[in-house]
Amino acid sequence: MTASTTDGRLLTISDLSVEFLTGGGWRPVVEDVGFSVDRGEIVGPDESLGNRIRRAKGEKLPYVLVVGDDDVANSTVGVNARGNEVERDVPVDDFVTRILAEVADHR
């Protein structure tokens, strides 16, 4: 899967989660799913989380992932899938498996 900026966005809560996502940590997982850490798909905590989520939903992105310090510590993610309820504390491996299955189903 190769995500474009219209496929999803990773929203971070703090500078710690930005560092973790871009500097190692989840980078292989993030890139396996298809997000580019160099294309602006990871959005830092420069404005309120609510505003960033609203903007992403307004762009009709299929997935908006929220990563906070607890997520970094527990290898989880908050999943805001378009048209579905918000899911919190989703294990990253479970989310990756779900996305890869969705991609396979659409081929």
- Three-state helix/strand/coil letters over 31-52: HHHCCCCCCCCEECCCCCHHHH
Residue 104 has pLDDT above 70, yes or no: yes
Q: What's the pLDDT tens digit per position in 23-81? A: 666 666 666 666 655 444 667 777 888 888 888 888 887 888 888 889 888 888 899 88
Confidence of residue 5 (pLDDT cuts 50, 70, 90): very low
Domains with residue ranges and CATH for the chain: 8-105 (3.40.50.800)
- 57 touches 64 (CB < 8 A): yes
If one compares 14 and 75, the residue with the highest pLDDT of the two is 75
Task: Round to whole Å and give the CA distance between 92 and 18.
Answer: 16
For residues 80 and 83, give the distance between their C-alpha atoms in angstroms, rounded to a whole number.
9
- Give residue-wise pLDDT tens across range 79-91: 988 888 999 999 9
